[in-house]
Structures are given as C-alpha cells and as structure tokens.
Structure 1
C-alpha cells in the first residue's frame, strides 16, 4: 500500500507586504472531506485575533483558498484573503479593540493551521493536520524611517530605497490621536516619500492631549517641510486624509495653494456630513469640478489598507468617561471596499504624481 505524505499547508509568499495577496493551499488530504483553515495572530498589545473558514477538499485531496469556496466560518464564498480581513478579537477579549500597527519595523506574524472537520478555533478537541506561519509587513526592505521634530512638527518621514527625488504624500489621520505611521510606511514601500504627522493626543504636542492645540500654520508647515525636502519632487506632493484628516487635507490644499494637477479624488462613504464638508470646502475654493466621489455600500467609516480587519466598533476614550464609537460596516463589503479603494488611490497617485 502506498502511504500518502503527511498533510501540508502552504502560504506563499511567506513574507509579503500587507497589501499583497498570498496563496494558501492544503495538500495530501483525503478527497471530499471537511476541513477548517484557521488564522491566529497576536497584536502588539498581546490581544489574540482569529479567523476561520470551513472548506471541503477537492477530489484530488487539495484545498486552494484562491479558488475554492468557504461554506462557513468567518466568511462565505471564494475569498482568497478572507483569513486576514476576517480577523476579529477572540472570544473573551477586551472590549472595543481596533487593530492598528504601532511598530512598522516588525511584521504581523500570522499562524495558520489546517484542522480536521468543520470546527471553531475555540473547540478543544480539534485535530491539527498541518500549520504554517506568514509575515505581513508595512515596510519593504530598504525603506528609511526618519523621526521628524522640526518647526514644532511631530511626525515621521518614510523614504523609499534610492536617492530620489520621489513623489510624496502628506498623511493625515483622524482625531483618534497619536502618531500613526503604517500607511506612510506602505506608501514608501510603493515608491512614494510619505510624512505622517500627529496633531492631537501626542505627548510632544501642546496639551491637553484630548484637544487640537495646533493651528493652520502647523499643517501648512508640515506640507512645506515635505515639499522642500531634498529627496522630494516639489511639484509632485499629494495629501491623503482619513476621517477628520479629510477636512484637514482639503484645508491645506486650499490654504497653501497646492497645485492640483488634474482632480481631487475623495472617498465618500455614504455619510452626508462628510459629503457636505468636502463639497462645501471645494466649492469655497472654486474647485468643486475636481470632486470625484467613490461610494461603497456596506462599508464602514474606517477605510484602511487592503486586507485589514474592520473594527465595526472600538474604544475611543476612557477618560473623562468611557466612550465606544460605532464606525459601521460589514466584514465582506468593507473588505471589498478597502481593496478597491487602495487600488484606485495608487492609480490616482501614479497618474497625478508620477506622470
């Protein structure tokens, strides 16, 4: 009797940027049998996040997440990256968690396992058939991370490998506070210099930390600092914002006289207040004809780089009182929105900042 090799689970490439798809396959399994593929990962705060999906093996004893359909678990259907965007806090986790990368110089390490039968990760009697580990990075090899503390600006500049000069992005987040670097690191990994700045909730900014205590000159100075950097193309600088950062981006563009090469692309997520602010700001600057709106039904407010899990609710603050914020969105449509939006953002940057 010919003995089959032991079951095997592979993830390729084993090391990839966070916005890159990977191929997950199981082999050497009995044909037409139920299996579960599970992903587990600890955040930098040591909270456990997990996702799982139920599959039935093919006639040749394989399962291929790139083309096979999940029949249960964290998602349904053919979703090659569902184990990543489907990650959610494990049962019993702290309330209101949101997954945000703090140290972009180390990866997320995701442990994937192939389990016998259709089971849930928390079930103690599941049999592990095979396992593999993959690394998910925001920073590509050769990207430089530079601490910026200049002219009162608190930020981090990321530069792609090479001498430049590079097209660049000023990266603005919402009022969650702190210095958020991971989108800038990813932009640099895609060939753009990117400056991420803090403007609220950072110990090196004027207090109190729960208020914005910097004025328009702070943001304009940040734009000028990026534009004037010796490794940046001065006439090829864009601005991106999320949440309140969208308002700041439009304000900087109008107040600094930033050159708009073709059009302003804004991601509008079916929030009438957001639409009003954006359109009124552009109308006041006589640039309403440059407004391009993308609408994603079923997506939430927090559009992150692709394959990031959606936090439908998260803890906003604990002082002076506990505040939980509802961001909205459903897992699958939100994941599809993030993937499509990221592609359109990169295409827009390519068309307007490189050509």
Structure 2
C-alpha cells in the first residue's frame, strides 16, 4: 500500500446501518485514475463486491459525494454507490443481514488503475462497521404463548410508542433500526415454519403480539403501530380491520387481499386466500421469473371473500407502492384500497408511489437486490426496480415511515406510570 494515499470515511468509520458516510481519497497524483472497491460478506458466507473508477482532481483528491464514477458498478455521482451496488458473483443472491448484534462490515479500498482483468495494486484500505443496534438499545428474544420474536427497547424511561414489525421471514434489521429512533419494536415473522408446512393462519396469534406490546412498561402510545411489506401487508391490514388497538399501519408493496392461506379469527375463517395461477408466471433468460401476474384480481366478484375490509379500521394507513414491483401489482392493490376507503367516506390514509422502484423496499444503504430465491415458491424471482431510483426511494421512505409513526402514535406519561 502507498503510505501517502489516504482513504477516509466521514464523519467516522463506525456508524449505524442507516447512516450515510462520505468516502474521500487524498494523496493521489493530480488527475490520477484509480478504482475504489468495496466488499462485504453476508450472514450466509456469501461475498458481495462493488467497484467504481474515478479520476482525482488537480489536488489529487476524490470525493464520492462530488465526483462522478466513470465506469464500474455504477456511473455518475453516487455518494453511497459502493454500498448499494454490492453484489455476489452468482446471480439471484440476496444479502442476508438480519441479525442485530453483528455489524455490517464493509472493506473499502483504493487501487491503481486496473490493466486487463487484473486488480490494480492496493494503495489504501479502511473498514466501515455499520451497526444495526444502537448504544443502549436492549434486545430480548420473546417466546410467550404464540408470540415468537425479538423485542427491541430504546434506552431511557420512555414513554415510547410501540411498533410491531411484521416480516415475511424473520429479520431483526428494520425493527432494531426503528428502536434506535425511539420506538419499542417487536420483530415478528409471518412464517416461522418451513414454507412447505404452511397451515391456515390465525389472526389471534398476531393479536397476542399486539397485546404483548401494549403491556410493556416503557410503552406509552395508546395503540400499536405496524410496519409491513409483502405478505406481512395483508396480515397488517387484517389486524387494523379486526383487532382493536392498531392505530397506524405502514403497508409496503403488499396485497389488498389475503394471499397464500386462509385467515382464521376466533375459531372461524374470516377470509379466503386469493388464488394464484402458476401458468401466468413469466420465465426470463436470467433464470428468474416474473410472478406479478400470477395472482388473480381481488376486484373480481368471485374473489370478494379474499379482500381485507380496510374500511372497518379505526387507525390510519400509510400505503406505499412501487411502480416496477415485479412480485405483484402493489400499485393496483393500493389504488383499490384508496378507492374503497373514499367510497366509505374515509380519509384515514396517506399514499406514496415510487414509479421506478421495485418490490424490496428496505432500510437504506443495503445492497440493491434485483432478483433472488423466493422464500415461499422456492424458485428465483425478479423483484424489479431501477437501482439508482430504488435506493433513493429507500432513503425517502425511511424518513416517511418514522414521521408517520411518530405523528400517529402519541405517548401519554400517565399511561406509562399506571403500568409501573
């Protein structure tokens, strides 16, 4: 490595997962062309890499928030491009970073301009530790009745608003990042068993999670908020429609009807699953499929019994849909719910539409995932999204989620004191 070349991450090399960093290189020759690289390994041991070629300014410096990438994993000015463009050598790999206690470790390095297929000599290197769990946040595994999840609680006495994070499959990432912002959050998976063993779903089990959150001593909100995406979305809608105490629901790229299995509540079936037609799956050359057109239309008369009656909900909704969602027609489902709520004289919703984003809207600055193995149907699918537009949507949405939950989950000190 060159002793004169310096690679800096500002304001510091250790930060939270959802915090941006400024990447700066100094000590290069005037107008020198170099390659800046990043690499990280996920929880399954898969290595992801990215690279971009830059030309230094007259002072021998490169600022990623100012200077355009000339070629590589992305082009143009992308301050966090090396993070979101990380990808594996093999297709259809999702970056698994779901456990809160271990940071997302990224190695940044600067290399001399590469010749042919060879990686140029390394000039400088620095490690970025991106923590999911903030200082003082507690993480407690929960196994109580039918509630199996992980509870994250911010430091301090509170009172704090309560949020149920409904993941399709277990992930602690979004929950603990929200806890860092001052929410008591229970991460709960919709599917805890193997997909092959999916049984009818019982809304009562998810109601237990709502009740569990309301009983926490540091919780001060009069009701519970829910954050959901994909399959978690129709469960979140159902909780809002049938279960008291749900005050705010964030629905991201979900369905307006029940998907996958019938839904039961209080020992009776309340909703049937929307049928799926595998003949409408579109295979692509990459080996991944587009499944967007497989679900039948929830507005069809014969599917009336699958649609969640959101008009019954007392709380507020934040509907979020992506125009390039290739998993399902989230925009159409959002429009159907908005139309129905208006028809019932309801104005208890906000809607956000990202025309060129894909299905997997996540907390910002993780690797963009265009395709991966689907957890339920067990073959690779395309998620959609223009990478640069999608990751910008993630930054915007992350702020909107926090604002929505804060605005709609008011805390009362007297409620908290009564629990102690």
Q: Could you state the TM-score of these two structures normalised by the residue count of structure 1?
A: 0.88
Separation of aligned partners in 2, 1:138 and 1:105: 7
Where does residue 5 of structure 2 map in the other structure? 7
Where does residue 311 of structure 1 map in the other structure? 369
Task: Give the deviation of 1:328 after TM superposition.
Answer: 1.0
Task: Give the deviation of 1:79 after TM superposition.
Answer: 1.1
Task: Give the deviation of 1:118 after TM superposition.
Answer: 5.4
Contact 1:200–1:209 under 8 Å retained in 2:
no
Where does residue 107 of structure 1 map in the other structure? 103
Task: Give the deviation of 1:210 after TM superposition.
Answer: 4.1
> Does residue 1:295 correspond to 2:293, yes or no?
no
Contact 2:70–2:76 under 8 Å retained in 1:
yes
Which residues of 2 match residues 135-214 of structure 1 at below 5 A?
135-174=129-168, 177=169, 179-202=170-193, 210-214=197-201
Task: Give the deviation of 1:293 after TM superposition.
Answer: 1.9
> Does residue 1:72 correspond to 2:57, yes or no?
no
Separation of aligned partners in 1, 2:35 and 2:119: 13
Separation of aligned partners in 2, 1:335 and 1:118: 28
Contact 2:65–2:78 under 8 Å retained in 1:
yes
Task: Give the deviation of 1:263 after TM superposition.
Answer: 4.0
Greater alpha carbon shift after TM alignment, 339-348 vs 251-260: 251-260
Separation of aligned partners in 2, 1:152 and 1:277: 30
Residues 1:287 and 1:336: Cα distance change in structure 2 (over 3 Å): farther
Task: Give the deviation of 1:228 after TM superposition.
Answer: 2.1
Where does residue 46 of structure 1 map in the other structure? 45
Task: Give the deviation of 1:290 after TM superposition.
Answer: 2.4
Q: Which SS does the other structure have where 2:39 is aligned?
A: strand
Cα deviation per residue 1:4-47 (whole Å; 9 max; x = unaligned)? 96111111211111110111110111011111110011112111
Task: Give the deviation of 1:60 after TM superposition.
Answer: 0.7
Task: Give the deviation of 1:259 after TM superposition.
Answer: 3.4
Where does residue 247 of structure 2 map in the other structure? 259
Task: Give the deviation of 1:330 after TM superposition.
Answer: 2.2
Residues 1:317 and 1:19: Cα distance change in structure 2 (over 3 Å): closer
Matched pairs, number: 338
Task: Give the deviation of 1:252 after TM superposition.
Answer: 0.7
Which residues of 2 match residues 227-242 of structure 1 at below 5 A?
227-242=214-229
Residues 1:241 and 1:288: Cα distance change in structure 2 (over 3 Å): farther
Q: Which SS does the other structure have where 1:259 is aligned?
A: strand
Separation of aligned partners in 2, 1:55 and 1:287: 55
Task: Give the deviation of 1:227 after TM superposition.
Answer: 1.7
Which residues of 2 match residues 4-43 of structure 1 at below 5 A?
6-12=4-10, 13-43=12-42
Separation of aligned partners in 1, 2:184 and 2:125: 37
Task: Give the deviation of 1:63 after TM superposition.
Answer: 0.5
Question: Tell me, which stretches of 5 or more residues in structure 2 are unaligned?
Answer: 249-313, 412-420
Separation of aligned partners in 1, 2:196 and 2:400: 34
Contact 1:166–1:233 under 8 Å retained in 2:
yes
Task: Give the deviation of 1:279 after TM superposition.
Answer: 5.3
Contact 2:163–2:185 under 8 Å retained in 1:
yes
Separation of aligned partners in 2, 1:168 and 1:6: 50
Where does residue 55 of structure 2 map in the other structure? 56
Q: Could you state the TM-score of these two structures normalised by the residue count of structure 2?
A: 0.75
> Does residue 1:327 correspond to 2:383, yes or no?
yes
Contact 1:279–1:291 under 8 Å retained in 2:
no
Task: Give the deviation of 1:214 after TM superposition.
Answer: 3.4
